[in-house]
Each structure stands twice: as C-alpha cells, then as structure tokens.
Amino acid sequence: MQIDLVHDIQTAYRKVIDSMSRPGVISDLHEVTAKADFHIGCNPLIEVLALMLLDTEVTFNVVSVREEKITRLINQLTYAKAADTDKADFIFVLKDCDQKGLEAAIRSAKLGSLINPHESATFIIETESVSTGTELFLTGPGIEAEHALGIAAAETWLDIRNEKNKEYPLGIDIILTDANDSILCLPRTTQIRKRVTD
C-alpha cells in the first residue's frame, strides 16, 4: 500500500501536534507507517516524520554512523537542505548513534532568539522505547498535576536538555520515536526531573 502524501501526512501531523500539546502522551502512528513504501534505511516512522517536517524552506541534520547515506536519501525525498547541527532546524538522531554523539548534537543545537524563539532546533530521536526506561516526572503546560513515564536511555541526555531549555522561550523541542511506531513529545515548556533515589 502506498502512503498518501496529503491525508496520511495530515494524520501524522495531527498526532504529533496532539502529543506536543499534551507532553507525556504516547501517540501511535502505525496506521501511517504501515503504508510507507519508500526505504531510506531507517525506521519508517523517521521517514514519515521527515516527509511531514521537511521541505525546501528548512534545514536538517542526521546524527548516525550512516549519516552521509541517510542525509542524501532524506534530501532526495524531501528536497530539504542538509546543515551542520548548530544551524539545522530539524535534527534526526538515529538509534545507531552513540550517546556522545547525541549529547554533542544537543549541546550545539540552536536555541532561537528572544525575538524569534521559533528559529530553534527540533530533535527527532529514535529510542528503544518511549514507555520503558528511566523513570521521569513531567510538569508544565498541557500536563495536569504531574505525569510519570519511562524513557529508554534518557539519563544520558536529560541534564543537557534541561540546561538548554532553562531560559524560556529559548530552547529545543524533542520528538521521541520507537520501533513500535510510537511518539512522545517533550516541548521546551515541559520541566523534566528524574526520580530521586535514597
């Protein structure tokens, strides 16, 4: 089955917006990714998000051991231009990236400015799971009281993300994906803390 570049991408967009407006809510995009018939060598969900987010007006970066190949294929699919991490609008961090690569990308990502906070980077990060892993607590807009969840390998990049987002409205937004075609969004307005152990 072939993906519909209008209706299916709109479905994906609505789910991403819903997850972004309700941080901690996991959305399933399997109905869209099941139709993905292009193969650029990564999770079909990454491919769908690339189609949804990228066009000729934005830039992107791929953080992966297959960076050159995936960058070329995403460029052919979307016509978006590749850029260094400190200039990219969207940064795709694939599962084969090591933690140091992810941390370096977050550190160097652009934050926007007080006049143009929307000129910051959005990360799309492949993880093992968006529902199991390090226990985190979320608070902020779109979250009633406090929301607890587990995110795989979050302990390695969480402090860097929190440091990047300390001066709102500057900051980065994150879309986490997993192999089950699920997404979880962490906008810059969301405060995240780890469980305190005794």
Rounded CA separation 63/53 (Å) = 17
Per-residue pLDDT of 95-114, as tens digits, reads 999 989 999 999 999 999 99
Q: CA 15: distance to chain centroid?
A: 13
How far apart are the C-alpha atoms of 81 and 86, rounded to whole Å? 14
Domains by residue range for the chain, with CATH: 7-194 (3.40.50.11310)
Alpha carbon of residue 167 to chain centroid: 20
Question: Is-above-0.95 flag for pTM?
Answer: no
In tens, the pLDDT along 129-180 reads 888 877 888 988 999 888 788 877 677 788 999 999 999 999 999 999 998 9
φ, ψ dihedrals at 52, nearest 5°? -75, -40
CA distance 118 to 110: 10
The pLDDT tens digits for 42-86 are: 889 999 999 999 999 999 999 999 999 999 999 999 999 999 999
With the C-alpha atoms ordered 87, 90, 94, 98, is the resulting torsion angle positive or negative?
positive
